[in-house]
A and B are shown apart, each in its own frame.
Chain A
């Protein structure tokens, strides 16, 4: 953390303003990738878009689920984006067993395997683990995306009926 701040001070200086920055950006003549946190509330994505637009030929990429400090908040996603740009080719995304971002809400655990970063938002993929004797979410319908479900593991349903009062409600 301390090293990060020291490095930022070297690149950005200690002042929060730089009136000459926009003009200098226009003079950049090397291939440039501008990465910006989609959830950055200090300098929002529109600011980033303008920053990238000021650099001739720059590529602008938003980082999902990321705020003002991508290198600390989503280092894996950030490095993959940088590597892809440097290597000038797409890179595979691998989520090893037991890894991946976890979202836990009640008896439901969702392990995010692909959040759309690698697929230009065409596909998201998650592994859901649902505790025994757990009801699903309220019945619902989506308007703007398809969902697929594929059961990977589960024991056959027990013949004994579980009283509804012992069931826990889960939400999706």
Chain B
């Protein structure tokens, strides 16, 4: 679980696709994924700057606490 304020990220270093369930309480952040989808072209990937801009709409900010 990741409470508000806790820095976090993740990755898939393995050779197979990773599937995970992601909960949001409340539902605030679901719209973030829709926004990202709508701002990039099919098959494209968002830039870091654009992502930070979308995060800011949902009370989310970049963190540097962990190397």
Contacts and interface: CB of A to CB of B under 8 A. Distances in A.
A119 B17 contact: no
Contact of A106 (B2, B7, B44): B44
A155 interface: yes
- Name the interface size band of chain B: 35 or more
Nearest to A107: B45
A89 interface: no
Interface in A112-162: 112, 114-116, 119, 121-158, 162
Given A116-B26, A116-B30, A146-B2, A155 B9 contact: no
A143 B18 contact: no
A92 B31 CA distance: 22
A95 interface: no
Contacts of B27: 114-116, 119, 121-124, 145
B59 A134 contact: no
Contact of B63 (A64, A126, A139): A139
A141 B10 contact: no
A40 to B, nearest CB: 15
A70 B4 CA distance: 33
Given A142-B2, A147-B29, 18 more contacts: A103-B33, A104-B42, A105-B46, A110-B22, A126-B30, A127-B19, A130-B19, A139-B9, A139-B64, A144-B26, A145-B28, A147-B24, A152-B21, A153-B19, A154-B12, A154-B14, A154-B17, A172-B10
Contact of A148 (B1, B19, B51): B1
Contacts of B51: 137-138, 171
List the 5 closest A-B pairs by CB distance, nearest first.
A116-B27, A106-B45, A124-B27, A124-B24, A148-B23
A140 B9 contact: yes
A103 B37 contact: yes
17 contacts: A64-B31, A104-B42, A128-B18, A130-B12, A132-B12, A132-B17, A140-B9, A140-B61, A140-B62, A141-B61, A143-B60, A145-B26, A148-B23, A151-B19, A154-B12, A171-B46, A171-B51
